Amino acid sequence: MQDTPPGQNAQPNGHNHTLGDGAQCPGSHDNSHLAANVPVVIVGAGPSGLLQAYLLSKLNIQCMIIERYSTRLAAPKAHAINPRSLEICRQFGLDTKAIRSLGTPRSEAFWVNFITSLSGETVGRLPYERMDADVLDATPEMIHNIPQPAFEEFVAQHLPKSVQILRNASFVSSEERDDFVYTTYEDRKNGNIHTVASKYLIACDGAKSKVRRFLGIECDGEDSCTYNLLVTSMACSLMLTDETMMTIHFNTDLRPVVGERVGMLHWVMDPAVSGFVIAYDLGGNQVLICNIDVVIHPGMVCSLSANESIAQEASS
Ligand SMILES: Cc1cc2nc3c(=O)[nH]c(=O)nc-3n(C[C@H](O)[C@H](O)[C@H](O)COP(=O)(O)OP(=O)(O)OC[C@H]3O[C@@H](n4cnc5c(N)ncnc54)[C@H](O)[C@@H]3O)c2cc1C
């Protein structure tokens, strides 16, 4: 089995190199050039792609990441890392105490509250997963709550400089030939098409993975679209998501509203909301996720839902 693609020499340090405009990748787009040669190409710089790159770097395997966006998205998305993932982080030298110092304190993440509204009645409460001391009999790393961008930033900071993250670069296609994968991507700044040759291509491009679809790999599960809403201090702006789930990201201090009733999740048992608040940080960073029929409730539903969940609109 060859180690380098035809027409290209292996670099002793395994670093990427450009062949220049004259080096054409056979069989690919006319304007694509073999831009680099690296053992592993990862598509996507979310938590999976970044952690994958980190793990490979610990195994002394060179890789590069192709990421569609120029900057990290601010929406917090995932809030919990499970014990097994933290065990892997720890086994590969990531300081899990440092990770814990970044996320939601355990005292504030312990409960799931079932409520009529954030300022209303308590219907009940349950522990969020397992954050009691007994869980340490089964794992050295209990679940931890941390906003996804904070975890991504942490892992990114621990990547060696040899891991190149190509931003504003979108996966287009891949082709397997002569023991190599030729991955074609678009430079979104100028629309130019480039090709990189590698031994392996790893798809970490999320739930709607273009790599997966390109390769015709099926995916079981709900195919939902979502309204992503950005709400700052309850001034609400709307971006669309799906026909069933709406995500409203807002930034406001909910501590005076919830009082002693802190918790990671707040299920609002009011049909007008039909959803829950993820309190990444009760002092500021939160998300409300609720069911929505976009045909029945176009337009103003986001501010309606946000206000109903807090139930303070009428009094303010
Ligand atoms: C409100 C909310 C709460 C959640 N809570 C949790 C939770 O508590 N725990 C949990 O595990 N999960 C949770 N999730 C789901 C979580 O967001 C996903 O599990 C996580 O994002 C998956 O990480 P990933 O790296 O696989 O994919 P993603 O985070 O989606 O990253 C994919 C990356 O690939 C890039 N990309 C996409 N297409 C291309 C392309 N064509 N070319 C190049 N790059 C591309 C994207 O820009 C992105 O950076 C939650 C999600 C939401 C919305």
DSSP calls for 232-274: ETTEEEE----SSEEEEEEE---HHHHTT---SEEEE--TTT-
For residue 266, the enclosing domain spans: 104-130+222-316
Helix/strand/coil percentages in the chain, nearest 5: 20, 30, 50
In a domain, 18, yes or no: yes
Residues 26 and 118 in one domain: no
Residues 212 and 233 in one domain: no
Q: Is the Cα torsion angle 27, 199, 151, 126 positive or negative in sign?
A: positive
Going by alpha carbons, the residue nearest to atom 16 of ligand 1 is 78
The structure's pTM equals 0.84
Q: What are the angstrom distances between the C-alpha of 37 and each of 1, 17, 183?
A: 16, 7, 10
Q: What is the pLDDT of residue 299?
A: 58
Going by alpha carbons, the residue nearest to atom 12 of ligand 1 is 78
In a domain, 142, yes or no: no
Please give the chain's pLDDT, 316 residues, in tens: 455 665 454 333 333 333 333 334 444 444 455 666 899 999 999 999 999 999 999 999 999 999 999 999 888 999 999 999 999 999 999 999 999 999 999 999 999 999 999 999 999 999 999 999 999 999 999 999 999 999 999 999 999 999 999 999 999 999 999 899 999 999 999 999 999 999 999 999 999 999 999 999 988 876 544 444 433 333 333 444 445 678 899 999 999 999 999 999 999 998 888 899 999 999 999 999 988 776 766 655 555 666 677 665 444 4
Residues 208 and 240 in one domain: no
Determine if ligand 1 sits within 6 Å of the CB of residue 287.
yes
Residues 310 and 226 in one domain: yes
Residues 180 and 289 in one domain: no
Residues 258 and 209 in one domain: no
Query: How many domains is the chain built from?
Result: 2
Residues 240 and 295 in one domain: yes
In a domain, 95, yes or no: no
Q: Candidates 52, 72, 77: which one to mutate for ligand 1, based on the most atoms within 8 Å of Cβ? A: 77
Determine if ligand 1 sits within 6 Å of the CB of residue 188.
no
